[in-house]
Structure formats: structure tokens, C-alpha cells
Amino acid sequence: MEKDIFCRIIDGEIPCHKVYEDDDVLAFLDISQVTKGHTLVVPKKHYDNFLATPKSVMHKVMDVAQTIGQIEIKMLGAVGVNILTNCYEAAGQTVKHFHVHVIPRYDVGDGFILEMKNNAEGLNLPAIAEMVKNELK
Ligand code: AMP
């Protein structure tokens, strides 16, 4: 199987603007810079996405993402941060290697748009909650 682009960055085949590295995790600037300082945090071992990643590895990635978000507020003048991860193509995932976006926010027109509409009308919320709750038991 062909290596994804993040595996190639991890293996040093493609350059990146690295901001953090340890035995399990790498963080580097996103090439698209949705906003100034937009960073990606990835596990060095390949997993397709967040949902396919073992919890112990996922926790390490999220730990680094949290620290980078704190630094973006402290050092870059950001006044907010969006931390998100897309799972599968339908959710906008384009690189099939688990990654967390840490996106510093500066103001409403800073380049990042996330629209979450209210589509609750007509949904049976108690039934949905019950279904998920039962599966979690
Ligand atoms: P997603 O759409 O959630 O899968 O995000 C993939 C992200 O990877 C996008 O924001 C791209 O800009 C970013 N990206 C793709 N190639 C590179 C690269 N070589 N170096 C840094 N970021 C990259």
C-alpha cells in the first residue's frame, strides 16, 4: 500500500515545519495555514483516523494538541482555538492518517468557517440518547 503524506513526513521523506516531536507524536504546521499557526498533531504510527486509533495513542496526541492550543493563545495572540479531527471522507478527511487540527482563532473573519446548524426539529432525542447510552453500557 502507498504511504500517506504524513507517514512520509514522519519518515523524513518530505519536509515539514516541525513544532514538536517525541517517540510517539509529531506536530508540524499545516501547509494551508487556515489561520496563522494552524498546526497538525499526528501519531508516528499509522492509524487511519481518530476512531481507528488505540486510546493510549489518542490520549498522547490530544495531550500535545492541548498544549499547542495553550501556546497559541499565549504566544501568537490568538483569542480562541478550534481543535478538531475529521474522520472519513464524508466528514472532510482528506489525509488518511489520524491528525488533529489545532487552529488558532483571531476574529470572526480570520479564515476559519465552521457552521453548525440546528437540525433538531423532528428528531426523537430521547430515543437517540437511549440507543447510544445502551451501547455504552
Ligand atoms: P483533513 O482534510 O482533515 O484530512 O486535513 C488534512 C490537512 O493536511 C489539510 O489541512 C492540508 O492542508 C494538510 N496537508 C496536506 N499536505 C501537507 C503537508 N505536506 N504538510 C503539511 N500539511 C499538509
How many domains in the chain?
1
CA 76 from centre of chain: 19
CATH assignment of the domain containing 44:
3.30.428.10
In this structure, which amino acid lies at residue 57?
V
Angle at alpha carbon of residue 61, lines to 57 and 67, rounded to 5°:
145
Say yes or no to pLDDT of 38 above 90.
Answer: yes
7: Cβ contacts below 8 Å, ≥ 6 apart:
46, 97
pTM for this predicted structure:
0.97
**Residue 119 domain boundaries:** 5-136
The 10s digit of each residue's pLDDT in 47-72 is 999 999 999 999 999 999 999 999 99
* CB neighbourhood size of 25 (10 A): 20
What is the predicted pLDDT for the residue at 61? 99
- Cβ of 31 below 6 Å from ligand 1: yes
Q: Of 10, 30, 96, which is best to mutate to test ligand 1, by the most ligand atoms within 8 angstroms of its C-beta?
A: 30
Q: What is the mean pLDDT of residues 101-119?
A: 95
Q: What is the mean pLDDT of residues 88-98?
A: 98
Residue pair 62/54 in contact by the 8 Å Cβ criterion = no
Tell the burial category of 29 from Cβ atoms under 10 Å away from its Cβ (0-12, 13-18, 19+): middle
- Cβ of 19 below 6 Å from ligand 1: no
Candidate list 38, 97, 99, 101, residue with the active-site label: 99
Report which protein residue has its CA nearest ligand 1's atom 18: 31
Which cell goes with 3? 504511504
Active site residue 99: yes
- Cβ of 95 below 6 Å from ligand 1: yes
What is the predicted pLDDT for the residue at 1? 78
Q: Measured between alpha carbons, how far is 108 from 9 in angstroms, rounded to an integer?
A: 32
Q: Which of 13-22, 35-44, 94-103, 105-114 has the lowest mean pLDDT?
A: 105-114
